[in-house]
Amino acid sequence: MTATTMSGSPPAVRSASRARGSGGLRRSILAWVFLAPFLAVFVTFTAVPTVAALGFSLTDLRGTDLRHPFAVDVVGLDNYAWLFSDGRFVRDLGNTAVFVAVGVPLTMLTGFALALALNTGIRRLRGVYRTVFFAPVVTNVVAVALIWQYAFNTNGTVNQVAASIGFAGPNWLGDPGLAMPVVILLGVWRNFGTAMVLFLAGLQAVPEDVHEAAALDGAGWWRRLWHITMPLLMPTILLVSVLLTVFYLQVFDEPYLLTDGGPLGSTESVALYTYHQFGFGQFGLSSAASLVILVLVAVVSFAQFRLLRPRT
C-alpha cells in the first residue's frame, strides 16, 4: 500500500529520481498538477458529500429546505435515535443481514465450485464456460430484473415448468415469504462470476507439486482440498468474502427493481430505506441511515485490511 511497492526499478535509478532539494518542490507541485483532474472530481463528489452527509444527518434538512438553508435546525443525534426506534429501519437492518448471511455464502460457494471445476485440467470448452459464467457480471441489472419478473410472475416461464410437473406455482415476487429468495437469487446470479474469477486466480497460484506429493501419499481429493488448497487459498477466500459482504450490505438495485422493497417491506434493504426517505424529502434522516451503511462498510473494509495485510 505504500511507495515501497510502487517501483521495480534498480536502486541507483530510484535514488536519482528521488533527489529532493530545489527540484523536490517543483516535483511535488508537478505531481499535484497531474493529480488535479482526479482531485477535483474526488473533492466535489466524494469528500465534500461524505462530510456533508455527516452534517445533514445532524439536521432536520428536508427536500423543501434546499432553497432556504437557514430554516434548517440542528437536531443533534435525533435522527439516529429515531432510526433505531423506527420499526421499519430495524426491520430493514434485519433484511440487510439476511442479504449478507444468505447471499455471501451462496455466491461464494457457487463461484468456488465452478472455479474448482474449471481448474481440474479440463480443456474442452473451458474458455466457453468461463465466458458464460462471467457474462452475468457485465449484464445490465435493470434488464435482468425485467427478465426475472417475466420468468417469476404467477404465469411466468418458471411456473410453466412447475405446472408441467403438476405443481401450481406461487406468485413468487408477491409473496412475503418467497420474494426474498428470488431477489437474492438475482444477486447471486450477478455476482458469482466475479467470485469465480478471483478464485480461479487464487487456485492457479496453488503449487501443483504439493498436490502431487500428497496424492502419492494417498491423500484423497477431499483431504487435499481441505488441507492443502483451502489454507493456501485463505487470502482469496477472505478477499472475496469481504467484497461480497460490502456488496450485499449496500444492496439496492435488486430489491428496488424487483419488488421496491415489498411485499410488506419483506425485501427492503437499508440502502433502499435511504432512497425511500430521500424520495419523501427527508434528507436528514436519509443521510443518517446512509451513514449507518457507511459505518458497517468501513468496519468490514477495516477488517479486510487487518486480515489481508501483506506479510512482506
Partner 1 sequence: MTVIAPTQVPPGDARPGDARVRQEARPATRRRRGAQAPLQAALAVAAGFTLLPFVWVVSGSLRSLADIRAAPGAWLPGEVTADNFVRLFQAQGFGTFLMNSIVVAALVVAGNVVAASAAGYALAKFDFAGKRLAFGAVMAALMVPYTATFVPQFVVTMNLGLVDTLAGIAAPSLALPISIFIVRQYASAVPDELLEAARIDGAGEFRIFARIFLPLAGPALATVTIMSFLTSWNNFIWPLVVAQSTSTYTLPVGLAATSQAAPNVTDYGLMLAGAIVVMLPVLVLFLLLQRHFVQGIAATGLR
Whose grid coordinates read 432510526? Answer: 83
Which of 68, 85, 140, 222 binds partner 1 (CB under 8 A)? It is: 140
Q: How far is the CB of 261 from partner 1 (least distance, A)?
A: 14
Which of 108, 144, 180, 182 binds partner 1 (CB under 8 A)? It is: 144
Percentages helix, strand, coil for the chain (3-state, rounded to 5) are 75, 0, 25
Of 281, 275, 284, nearest to 255 by C-alpha is 275
Which of 22, 87, 138, 217 binds partner 1 (CB under 8 A)? It is: 138
Interface with partner 1 in residues 175-204 (CB under 8 A): 189, 191, 194, 197-198, 200-204
Considering the rule CB under 8 A, would residue 216 count as an interface residue with partner 1? no
* Integer CA distances (angstroms), 54 to 8, 148, 150, in order: 41, 37, 41
Contact 235, 308 (CB under 8 A): yes
242 bridge partner residues: none
Q: Distance between CA atoms of 166 and 101, rounded to whole angstroms?
A: 33
Which of 22, 38, 68, 85 binds partner 1 (CB under 8 A)? It is: 38
Binding mask 262-291 for partner 1 (x = CB under 8 A): ---------x--xx--x----x--xx--xx
Q: Distance between CA atoms of 136 and 186, rounded to whole angstroms?
A: 10
159 vs 267, beta carbon nearer partner 1 = 159
Q: Note the Cα 155 to chain centre separation in Å.
A: 32
Which of 170, 174, 235, 265 binds partner 1 (CB under 8 A)? It is: 235
Interface with partner 1: number of residues (CB under 8 A):
127
Q: Distance between CA atoms of 24 and 22, rounded to whole angstroms?
A: 5
Q: How far is the CB of 176 from partner 1 (least distance, A)?
A: 19
Q: How far is the CB of 8 from partner 1 (least distance, A)?
A: 7
